[in-house]
């Protein structure tokens, strides 16, 4: 997918089926229009009207059964995004999966993919995930030597660009480059493994980012990842998050669809910070 605008306002392919589900997901994250040629939906660079109007739930495939990934993607068809953790055993100690597996998941997933790249040299690898059709591609600030260029290359490939921060990484160090990004992912655990306990001490970072969104300094989805469940999602929502990555809280539930609905309702029931 090529660039359909300038670096700051490029358009990206975000879907290929003008279904009711696609329209519902548009309401939760993107302003979409269907092209006359029928090639797919297009969404322009995030504007203030594009910010999520209701909480978005992104189940983490890291908590799924890796022997049944196609089936596991179908189990969360009521989600907004499907969160896929890509780990290289260098930036983080764990090793998960790479682009060929993501491409296979992309072909069968009923919801857009949200790829979180916990890898070295993201500038080299991230554009490939965008070109594969991933909705949102997030790279780690700590691994980027030139975050602006990485963001522009991701968008040129056809995806929203996200920047992730470890719990100990100050938000202030990246305020000048966040204008190039569409998503800020605040880690509420240390990256690398699922099943860790939620770190509430990170929430002031989310609150500060929400203040900057509300005052118009940034236009971003505010995503949180790590330890999100029925007991912690309200804290994160109150701080200002609007996209919630949940692993075992969804995939460990007897009924993932009901778990997704319950998490969304809990987040929607509190005011943002």
Active site residue: 78, 114, 225, 242, which one? 225
Which residues of the chain form beta strands (DSSP E)?
12-15, 33-34, 41-43, 56-59, 82-87, 113-118, 136-140, 160-165, 183-187, 221-225, 243-246
120 is an active site residue: no
Query: Is 114 designated active site?
Result: no
Domain boundaries, the chain: 50-268
On whether the CB atoms of residues 174 and 142 are closer than 8 A, the answer is no
pLDDT for res 18? 33
Class level of CATH domain 50-268: alpha beta
pLDDT for residue 256: 97
Beta strands in 65-147 (DSSP E): 82-87, 113-118, 136-140
C-beta separation of 9 from 45 below 8 A: yes
Rounded to 5°, angle at Cα 106 from 193 and 86: 25
The predicted pLDDT at position 44 comes to 46
From its phi and psi, is residue 127 left (phi > 0), alpha (psi between -120 and 50) or beta?
alpha
Q: Which pLDDT belongs to residue 192? A: 76
Supply the pTM of this predicted model: 0.83
Q: Residue 149, SS3? A: helix
Question: What local confidence, expressed as pLDDT, does residue 194 receive?
Answer: 67
* pLDDT for the residue 50: 53
Using DSSP, state whether 225 is helix, strand or coil: strand
Structure tokens at 43: 């969404």
What is residue 53's predicted lDDT score, i.e. its pLDDT? Answer: 65
Say which of 85, 114, 182, 242 is annotated catalytic.
85
Q: Where are the alpha helices (DSSP H) in 157-219?
A: 203-214
| Stretches in the chain below the pLDDT threshold 70 | 1-53, 194, 271-273
CA angle 44, 159, 269 (to 5 degrees): 75
């Amino acid at each position: 997918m090529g660039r359909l605008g300038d670096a700051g306002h490029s358009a990206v392919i975000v879907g290929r089926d003008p279904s009711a589900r696609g329209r519902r997901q548009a309401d939760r994250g993107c302003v979409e229009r269907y092209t006359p040629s029928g090639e797919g939906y297009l969404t322009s660079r995030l504007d203030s009207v594009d910010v999520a109007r209701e909480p978005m739930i992104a189940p983490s495939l890291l908590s799924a059964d890796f022997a049944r990934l196609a089936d596991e993607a179908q189990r969360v068809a009521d989600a907004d995004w499907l969160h896929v953790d890509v780990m290289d055993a260098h930036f983080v100690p764990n090793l998960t999966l790479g682009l060929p597996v993501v491409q296979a998941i992309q072909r069968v997933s009923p919801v857009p993919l949200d790829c979180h790249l916990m890898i070295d040299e993201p500038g080299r690898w991230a554009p490939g995930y965008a070109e594969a059709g991933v909705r949102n591609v997030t790279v780690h600030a700590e691994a980027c030597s030139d975050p602006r260029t990485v963001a522009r290359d991701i968008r040129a490939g056809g995806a929203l660009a996200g920047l992730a921060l470890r719990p100990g990484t100050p938000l202030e160090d990246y305020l000048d480059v966040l204008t190039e990004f569409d998503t800020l992912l605040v880690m509420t655990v240390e990256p690398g493994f699922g099943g860790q306990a939620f770190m509430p001490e990170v929430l002031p970072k989310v609150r500060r980012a929400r203040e900057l969104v509300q005052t118009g300094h940034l236009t971003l989805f505010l995503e949180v990842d790590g330890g999100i469940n029925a007991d912690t999602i309200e804290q994160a929502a109150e701080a200002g998050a609007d996209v919630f990555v949940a692993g075992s809280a969804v995939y460990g539930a007897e009924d993932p669809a009901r778990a997704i609905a319950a998490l969304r309702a809990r987040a929607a029931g509190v005011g943002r910070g």
